[in-house]
Amino acid sequence: MSSTIKAGGLVSARSCSRLNAASGSSSKKRTSEHLDAGQSDSAQKVAKVHPFFAKRVDSPQTGAFRWLDPLGPSRSCLHGINLSPRAAVKVAAFDLDGTLIKSEFGNKGSPTSPSWEWWRNLIPTKLKEVYDSGYSILIISNQALKPQALKTWKLKITSIAAALPDVPFRLFAATSKDNYRKPMPGMWLELERIFREEGVDIDKGASFFVGDAAGRLYAGRKSDFSSTDRKWALNIGITFYTPEEYFLKLPPHTSYSLPGFHVLSLPELPQVMPTSTPLLPSPPRQEIVLFVGYPSLGKTSFYRRHFQPAGYTHINQDTLKTRDKCVKAMREALRQDKSCVIDNTNRDAATRKFYVDVAKQLNIPIRCFLFTGSFELAWHNNLYRTYNLPPSVAAQEPKRELVPSIAYTGFRNNYEEPKLEEGFDEIKKVNWVFSGTEEEKNYWSMWLQLDGK
């Protein structure tokens, strides 16, 4: 058995040299570095005669690797299996580039014969070991490739799989900026779903993920380019290792940073301030309430919770399309002696003046409710609502599109803080407080920014 494993390792090295030769680049040095020290000539002979290598390695379906139907509503998550991977309660998950293979080899070779190299020689042996000790092996990767490059990349995967002829594994690759892209947990959720269909519940406590995007900081040399892998493991709640820790048994590198927005950074504040005045006028009187704040800060939910039950008319430009129509609808509601809420972002004084002027003209009080959440929080909520609702919740709701980033940057660039001098009778601040189930809160509390945004 061990000679087979070694042959597997050697074969991969040889396939690499063969591919490099095919693409015209010199590979002698790489190949010699690649061979594990101590591997015998006889093992190499095994590799030479391995029937698998009688075939060319750039055939799309070489060996036992198969591409299955892509996953997701826009089929953005590629899905493939090598041999027949088992559904085990223990999952060993691995990032691909910079973890199992060297990432700098990404653009070498030719389109029909891409070259690659193991991160370290021991990788195939290690993968076989972990498989033999009862784990399911999952390989995941973020890819953002144009169609032609993606084709080449798929050939590379076939070639890597061919170098693991006795290691069944499943592979997911996220090709869009959506719920599948690390650090979003989508690829893991698909694995859980697939295993559940086979009657297996994954034991997260016994599972782990190995990745090189760990946010490691080094004095005097370049830090990790990203912390996405560490965030992915944190989001899912499984143990994380860097390739150095897992494969080379080096001690953990304790200096790392996780840049980007996390909800833990939010201060705990009362939802509405000041608390000394009532949220609704007491006794009730006719009024206009004008909201100010980024999209995705819960303005409409706040209306539904507090103002709708009190009979306030909802005026919203997303629904009515133009400001003229909003002003007209407000006048109409006021004429019927109703109160109303202007549920728009209302970012500057000039925009707010359209409503304040009507209030002055009709001598109706107008209050401003300023939703204080930051740009980062608003964008986070947008990502959460679009991509990361708990699966059971998402299944109940219509598919939602991401609000484009210009809605947030436009607000930020043109924002003027509302002032009493504009004509408001009061300005209240509404601080973000998450409302939802414990499960929803867990999903909302994950790292969600994609590629630093």
> What is the SS3 assignment for the chain?
CHHHHHHHHHHHHHHHHHHHHHCCCCCHHHHHHHCCCCCCHHHHHHHHHCHHHHCCCCCCCCCCEEEEEEECCCCCEEEEEECCCCCCCCEEEEECECCCECHHHCCCEECCEECCCECCCCHHHHHHHHHHCCCEEEEEEECCCCHHHHHHHHHHHHHHHHCCCCCCEEEEEECCCCCCCCCCCHHHHHHHHHHHHCCCCCCHHHCEEECCCCCECCCCCCCCCCCHHHHHHHHHCCEEECHHHHHHCCCCCCCECCCCCCHHHCCCCCCEECCCCCCCCCCCCCCEEEEECCCCCCHHHHHHHHHCCCCCEEECHHHHCCHHHHHHHHHHHHHCCCCEEECCCCCCHHHHHHHHHHHHHHCCCEEEEEECCCHHHHHHHHHHHHHCCCHHHHCCCCCCCCCCCHHHHHHHHHCCCCCHHHCCCEEEEECCCCCCCHHHHHHHCCCCCCCCC
Of the pair 212, 287, the CB lying nearest Mg ion is at: 212
Q: Which of residues 353-412 bind Mg ion (CB under 5 A)?
A: none
Shortest Å, Cβ 141 to Mg ion? 8
Q: CB under 5 A: which stretch of 50-58, 92-100, 257-265, 272-280 binds Mg ion?
A: 92-100
Q: CB under 5 A: which stretch of 87-95, 152-160, 335-343, 439-447 binds Mg ion?
A: 87-95
Of the pair 72, 106, the CB lying nearest Mg ion is at: 106
Q: CB under 5 A: which stretch of 38-46, 51-59, 90-98, 338-346 binds Mg ion?
A: 90-98
Shortest Å, Cβ 98 to Mg ion? 4
- Would you give the binding string for Mg ion spanning residues 168-207, x where CB under 5 A is met? ----------------------------------------
Contacts of 195 (CB under 8 A, 6+ apart): 87, 136, 201, 202
Q: CB under 5 A: which stretch of 9-17, 91-99, 303-311, 315-323 binds Mg ion?
A: 91-99
Of the pair 95, 376, the CB lying nearest Mg ion is at: 95
Shortest Å, Cβ 232 to Mg ion? 11
- Tokens, residue 15: 């396939």
Of the pair 58, 212, the CB lying nearest Mg ion is at: 212
Shortest Å, Cβ 305 to Mg ion? 43
Of the pair 80, 98, the CB lying nearest Mg ion is at: 98
Shortest Å, Cβ 66 to Mg ion? 24
Shortest Å, Cβ 211 to Mg ion? 6
Shortest Å, Cβ 164 to Mg ion? 18
* Size of site (CB under 5 A) for Mg ion: 4
Binding to Mg ion by residue 98, rule CB under 5 A? yes
Near Mg ion by CB under 5 A: residue from 97, 190, 224, 244:
97
Of the pair 185, 243, the CB lying nearest Mg ion is at: 243
Shortest Å, Cβ 99 to Mg ion? 5
Shortest Å, Cβ 229 to Mg ion? 6
Of the pair 242, 296, the CB lying nearest Mg ion is at: 242
Near Mg ion by CB under 5 A: residue from 58, 178, 190, 212:
212
How far apart, in whole angstroms, are the C-alpha atoms of residue 245 and residue 434? 37
Near Mg ion by CB under 5 A: residue from 53, 72, 94, 95:
95
For binding to Mg ion (CB under 5 A), which residues are involved?
Answer: 95, 97-98, 212
